[in-house]
Amino acid sequence: MPPRTATRGFPSSAFSSLILLCVFSLPASAQDTNPYAGDAQVAKLGESQFRANCAFCHGLGARGGGRGPDLTRIQKHHGTADSDLFRTINEGIPGTAMPPNGTTPQGVGMTPEEIWQVITYIRSVEKKSTTSAGDPAHGKSLFYGRAACATCHMVNGKGGRLGPDLSSAGSARALDYLVQSVREPSQRLAGGISEAMKEFPQEYETVTVEAADGIKYQGVVLNEDHFTLQMLDTREQVHLFEKDQLRKLTKSRESLMPAYDQKMLSDRDLQDIIAFLTTADAMPGGAQ
């Protein structure tokens, strides 16, 4: 587990075990259901909390973006019940950019009361119906067939590896974000690996290298630091480079994904693919 998940779990030594009991667990939710459900005044308070603590990733209006999921969808990938939302906010989601309450660099910790306010706010902006008008069966055949999405994207274990796994994209991302990702994929690059204490996730940047032996590779950045590069090339091979050993290294924010215009994919076909993605979240609780 990344270290941040240990924030309130605790220390090894015996001398602190007593303290541990009374100090290091935030008071858990006293109840499993929201005591303020439907209270418009509380939702207003929750909106302020949301803006201060959550909008950084989930956007104004909780509609998500490239970073955080769209929370106006009724179905939540990590659990939809009040108690699930409370747990997600309070404890974070290990292995994702969702941090435990109070550990973001920009936000302050929220009290249980304030967490319920935020949940009340989220409930107030949830859309009654989020099902796409499209035909999921046709969308699936497009995804794995003519539209060739599966060349680079996986859904529920089937498909390519070069682009992000889309198993939960349909339930997590806003509709207009999904449309934009297909029509203008370079506009906002998808987020890749999110390290425990790192502020910003790695993005799906395009990289072209010429190795010491003169061989050229193009692909996506899996991760990098000042000295090393980890990439996946278009043939789905992982390459691990020391940057100073490379003859050439070029990074670009032009996505490797083609921009699907109307000729390549009609609006109706796009609706169908999104309908497929929306219904495809068959493995809730899995990695994002």
Q: Is 26 in the site for another protein (CB under 8 A)?
A: yes
CB atoms within 10 A of CB 135: 17
CB proximity list for 251: less than 8 A, separation 6 or greater:
205, 206, 207, 208, 221
Judged by CB under 8 A, which of 35, 56, 83, 135 binds another protein?
Answer: 56
- Shortest Cβ 238–another protein spacing (Å): 18
Contact call for residue 125 and another protein (CB under 8 A):
no
Binder of another protein out of 31, 33, 106, 131 (CB under 8 A): 106
Tokens coding 284: 């809730």
How buried is residue 179: exposed, middle or buried, by Cβ count under 10 Å (0-12/13-18/19+)?
Answer: middle
DSSP 3-state of 211:
coil
Per CB under 8 A, does 52 bind another protein?
Answer: yes
Residues whose CB falls within 8 Å of the CB of residue 128, separated by 6 or more in sequence, listed in order: 74
> Minimum CB separation from another protein for residue 150, in Å?
26
- Determine if 3 is a binding residue for another protein (CB under 8 A): yes
| Beta carbon nearer to another protein, 84 or 205 | 205
| Region of 106-114, 129-137, 261-269, 272-280 interacting with another protein (CB under 8 A) | 106-114
Phi, psi of 166 (to 5 degrees): -105, 15
Q: Check residue 211 for interaction with another protein (CB under 8 A).
A: no
Q: Note whether 145 and 253 are within 8 A (CB).
A: no
Strand-pair partners of 248:
210
The binding site for another protein (CB under 8 A) comprises 3-13, 15-16, 19, 22-24, 26-27, 45, 47-49, 51-53, 55-57, 59-60, 65-67, 102-103, 105-111, 114, 186-189, 195-200, 224-227, 253
